[in-house]
Structure 1
Amino acid sequence: MKRARIITATAALALATTGFAPAAATAAPDSVVRPITACGDLVRGFALPGAATHVTSAAVVAATGTDPEYCGVQGYVEPAVRFELRLPTKTYAGRYLQYGCGGFCGLINPPAFADCDLPHGGDVAVAATDDGHVGKTPAVVDDGSWGAHDQAARDDFEFRAPHVVARASKAIIQAFYGALPKKAYFTGCSDGGREGLQLAQRYPADFDGIVAGAPAGYWSPLLEFQAWLARANTAADGSPILTAAKLPALHNAVLAACDRLDGLGDGQLDDPRACRFDPATLTCTGPDTPSCLTPAQVAATRRLYSPPTDAHGTLLYPGGELRGSELSWAGWIIGVPETGGLSFARSLADNYLRYLGYPIGTPASTVDTFAFTKREFDRLTPEGVRYNAMSLDLSAFQRRGGKLVLWHGWADQAIPPAGTLDYYQRLTHGRTQNFVRLFMVPSLYHCGGGTTLTEFDPLRELVAWVERGTAPTVVTATGRDAAGTVTRTRPVFPYPQRAVYDGSGSVDDAANFRPAPPAAPVRDVVDWAGNGLYAIPGPVAR
């Protein structure tokens, strides 16, 4: 659900016949691989079964201070899955990295050359896709009108596009370098995280390692949750009840009540679930000012902290907004001038309910008419299971040696962490697995940004796990100010471990923290309306 304007392997024979690149045991990439053909010669068709591919342009792009010289490839997989692939001409060492997209996609975010802490600069061929459609402006990624009557476009976005782009990219890589990539990786956040989970669940031969950040895997219920956020904070006249001006006082009150629950007053909540702050403590006793909440605002805040339910109390989503995330509600839950006054949650939910959520030809809905009932939840399920990435069967991915790194920000305003925690415990049965790790990042917003920690990227650790067998035991999160200066580093240990201050040195230095077991037994599985969705297999593209 990442918003573009805000957030900004492996046998040649198998690919030749199927387009897959099996992750059989191979030596790690270690030397530069030179092209065997001219960049411009890639402009042609690639007859991949079920994924006919057309390269429409290919040209060498000169090196810059940050990027190597590369062959820039653009093309599409039929019918309309556009992609961009960048192939280093002098520094490629056998790795392929594919990026996921955010929101409803609809545009290609130029793929960046990744820093994987490896010996060759620019050694990773990188690719990205628009997931099979072009979104309308201004926001692009919240437009769903393209899917109102086009099932093929829906199929591409729901499950097909990342898989067929992986096949296309590997075929082009083989044509350019004379060999398949030795290792293939995928990284994405939000919808990109959903794509990563889908790839592990449905297409286990595509990638050796996958990073799935803040995954929107519970897709259909999550879009219903976005409608809940919009409705929970909308007055009868359509105006927002809780306004952006009230968020700083609300957030400061949460910190005052709960910051030290983890034993350290450091401006962040290491596990917000321990916080029981009641917004009623901020109720205005005099004039309505930015430092207090009206009774209506107290009620709206309580609704936002709560998951959506039907009239019988059945949870329609595993969780609500967590305390500590309040500052990030501006823009996502509360419209601000930068978003044209429209909250992104409302825009996403309305486009989904109007154009994407129900089978084509059946009655649709809107945010304002949607009924929070189990019946309506079930009406969204037939199409929703095509988007969802909820299968607990990753056995094929695991058998092939695939590695999965999940991560989520504790202050994520767009996708509450409860779903990821629920999925992880169901998947692992509460026991450490040899192919999957979860990292929970304090104070981090949706896919990035935050109050104290603003960046998290476990790609280096994933590569080390896949290529050197080193399971990640810690990933460092970073906080930067508006000028880009590092203001805090903090270790994040595999969940459910937590970071504990060792008692000396700066609390802004990761070196001064050690891992500790959870303060209480882990009970993350949620009893909710989607209990039956984990066993429903999604469609598979061939």
Structure 2
Amino acid sequence: MSALSCAPATFGNVSLFGAEILSLQTNLVTNYTISVPSSVRFTQPSIEVQNASFCNITVIYTHPGQGDIITFESWLPAEGWNGRLQAVGGGGWVAGRSDPFYNAMGGAVGDGYATITTDAGLGNSLDASSWALLSPGNVNLYNLQNLASVSLDDGAIIGKSLIKSYYGRGPDYSYWNGCSQGGRQGLMLAQRYPTQYDGIAAGAPGIQWTDFFPSMLWPQQFMNMIGQGVPLSIAAQWLSLLVARDPGYDLFNLSHVEFDWLAHQGRQRYNSIIGTDDPDLSAFRDAGGKLMTFHGLVDELLPPKGSVKYYNRVSDLIPEVHDFYRHFEVPGMGHCSGGRSGEPTSLFDQLRAWVENGTAPDHTPVKVTTPKGDVQDRVLCPYPQKAVVDPTCDRALGTQCWSCGGNL
């Protein structure tokens, strides 16, 4: 691929229905070197990227009449493209396009993927106060919708268009990779835009959005009975800015009745926008899509049973759910990473094999640190199966000592 093609003129035909492209800038990045840990890639191992070159394209656009300014970014390998797109999700209030998600993009480029991200028009701050309200009492619903879903569809459309302009053809396969907010984004894509991605890897997904924020604040509410509880900031902003619509709302002195009312109002007003709990994945299934989720069982932010609850709801609607959707519980892992267990770093390659070869994952390996500090190789099984160890097996054999018991 010629470096001369990394120029705005190459992408002159990029457009998006319902939007106005305000600017398109390109920058040929060379000698890009970075060490990317598995903790920001989630489903892929650590990687040392050496002297990579890619075309960095930044597109700024607006939806006329909505007052939004969205920045989208794509990194396209200048050589060695593997013919695939890997989109990167965000975390917290951040849709993407910031650290550590740039690191995840670097890892994707190092593996030969074209990669994309968006800020959903919200910038890169973990503080929602800059965009949540038009004025006290008035929520900026356009911004919330951009975070919830709209920018995800926009990004897929723009990204595939840029890829086609640069390489002369679109991606053979398109994948999503994210955790937390990025996991929620992945499931929103499966639910609402089922044809945009062939495979979705979604970790610790922030689904049942309107329920888990009140659950995050319940410890503070309970502790206020005996002292001064401190609310978790992201949950506090949800209730004060989006539900109460008042940046000065006092969350320290809520009665139980007031707390329950706020939780109810959040669900009533916003579940259809950002709840991300629609169990009807039939369109995604019919499009040939494959979905793999995982959740650490000692996740300190998002209850892992929320992911199980969602899987069970999909299963109730689609009994053959395991034909396109598999969920892995990770004992000992915290929120997306950390804890006694490592990340399930083989999942993304297994997702690719499932999409491209029809090879469904019957287990995935994981490294676990024992209380004595020993690192052991074990397996994770697709829910509702459980990992079973052969007590007579020499543990030095690692994953060979483990199997998956029960039925899918």
Aligned counterpart, 1:167: 157
Given the alignment, which residue of 204, 208, 214 partners 1:218?
A: 208
> For 1:65-76, what aligned pairs fall within 5 Å after superposition?
66-67=49-50, 68-76=52-60
The one-letter amino acid paired with 1:194 is R
Secondary structure, aligned partner of 2:170: coil
Given the alignment, which residue of 174, 185, 190 partners 1:200?
A: 190
Distance 1:486 1:56 in 2: 51
> For 1:402-481, what aligned pairs fall within 5 Å after superposition?
402-429=289-316, 432-450=321-339, 452-457=340-345, 458-479=347-368
How many residues are aligned here? 370
TM-score scaled by length of structure 2:
0.81
1:169 is displaced (CA, Å) by 0.9
Distance 2:220 2:396 in 1: 37
Aligned counterpart, 1:391: 278
Q: Go from structure 1 to structure 2 and tell me whether the alpha carbon gap of 1:153 and 1:35 turns closer, same or farther (over 3 Å shift).
A: farther
Aligned counterpart, 2:395: 506
1:217 is displaced (CA, Å) by 0.9
1:161 is displaced (CA, Å) by 1.5
5+ residue gaps, structure 1, are 1-33, 241-341, 523-542
> For 1:114-129, what aligned pairs fall within 5 Å after superposition?
122-129=111-118
Greater shift, 503-512 or 221-230, is seen at: 503-512
Highest relative contact order (Cα 8 Å, sep 6+), 1 or 2?
Answer: 1
Distance 1:477 1:144 in 2: 39
Aligned counterpart, 1:86: 75
1:134 is displaced (CA, Å) by 2.1
1:346 is displaced (CA, Å) by 1.6
2:291 touches 2:326 (CA, 8 Å); kept in 1? yes
Residues 1:40 and 2:22 aligned together:
no
1:106 touches 1:130 (CA, 8 Å); kept in 2? yes
Aligned counterpart, 2:178: 188
Greater shift, 380-389 or 396-405, is seen at: 380-389
The one-letter amino acid paired with 1:403 is K
Q: Go from structure 1 to structure 2 and tell me whether the alpha carbon gap of 1:434 and 1:465 turns closer, same or farther (over 3 Å shift).
A: same
Residues 1:366 and 2:251 aligned together:
yes
Distance 1:102 1:212 in 2: 12
2:89 touches 2:95 (CA, 8 Å); kept in 1? no
Residues 1:353 and 2:239 aligned together:
yes
Secondary structure, aligned partner of 1:195: helix
Secondary structure, aligned partner of 2:146: helix
Aligned counterpart, 1:496: 384
> For 1:24-63, what aligned pairs fall within 5 Å after superposition?
34=1, 38-41=5-8, 42=10, 46-63=14-31
Greater shift, 485-494 or 57-66, is seen at: 485-494
Given the alignment, which residue of 508, 517, 520 partners 2:406?
A: 517
Greater shift, 494-503 or 103-112, is seen at: 103-112
Residues 1:143 and 2:128 aligned together:
yes
Q: Go from structure 1 to structure 2 and tell me whether the alpha carbon gap of 1:454 and 1:156 turns closer, same or farther (over 3 Å shift).
A: same
> For 1:154-303, what aligned pairs fall within 5 Å after superposition?
154-234=144-224, 236-238=226-228
5+ residue gaps, structure 2, are 34-47, 63-67, 135-139
Q: Go from structure 1 to structure 2 and tell me whether the alpha carbon gap of 1:446 and 1:121 turns closer, same or farther (over 3 Å shift).
A: closer
1:45 touches 1:55 (CA, 8 Å); kept in 2? no
Distance 1:128 1:486 in 2: 38
Q: Go from structure 1 to structure 2 and tell me whether the alpha carbon gap of 1:66 and 1:399 turns closer, same or farther (over 3 Å shift).
A: same
Q: Go from structure 1 to structure 2 and tell me whether the alpha carbon gap of 1:115 and 1:428 turns closer, same or farther (over 3 Å shift).
A: farther
1:408 is displaced (CA, Å) by 0.8
Secondary structure, aligned partner of 1:96: strand
Aligned counterpart, 1:378: 264
1:61 is displaced (CA, Å) by 1.4
Deviations 1:284-307 (A, max 9, x none): xxxxxxxxxxxxxxxxxxxxxxxx
The one-letter amino acid paired with 2:289 is G
Secondary structure, aligned partner of 1:471: coil
1:404 touches 1:436 (CA, 8 Å); kept in 2? yes
The one-letter amino acid paired with 2:49 is T
1:81 touches 1:129 (CA, 8 Å); kept in 2? yes
Aligned counterpart, 1:99: 88
Secondary structure, aligned partner of 1:459: helix
Secondary structure, aligned partner of 2:102: coil
Residues 1:131 and 2:123 aligned together:
no
1:405 is displaced (CA, Å) by 0.6
1:232 is displaced (CA, Å) by 2.9
Secondary structure, aligned partner of 1:404: strand
Distance 1:106 1:474 in 2: 30
Distance 2:396 2:222 in 1: 37
Deviations 1:61-92 (A, max 9, x none): 11336153111222233232222211001111
Secondary structure, aligned partner of 1:424: helix
Aligned counterpart, 1:153: 143
Which protein is richer in strand relative to its size? 2
Given the alignment, which residue of 104, 109, 115 partners 1:112?
A: 104
The one-letter amino acid paired with 1:52 is E
Aligned-pair Cα RMSD in Å: 3.0
TM-score scaled by length of structure 1:
0.62
Q: Go from structure 1 to structure 2 and tell me whether the alpha carbon gap of 1:121 and 1:146 turns closer, same or farther (over 3 Å shift).
A: closer
Q: Go from structure 1 to structure 2 and tell me whether the alpha carbon gap of 1:230 and 1:145 turns closer, same or farther (over 3 Å shift).
A: farther
1:376 is displaced (CA, Å) by 3.4
The one-letter amino acid paired with 1:66 is V
Distance 1:100 1:52 in 2: 23
Distance 1:55 1:61 in 2: 19
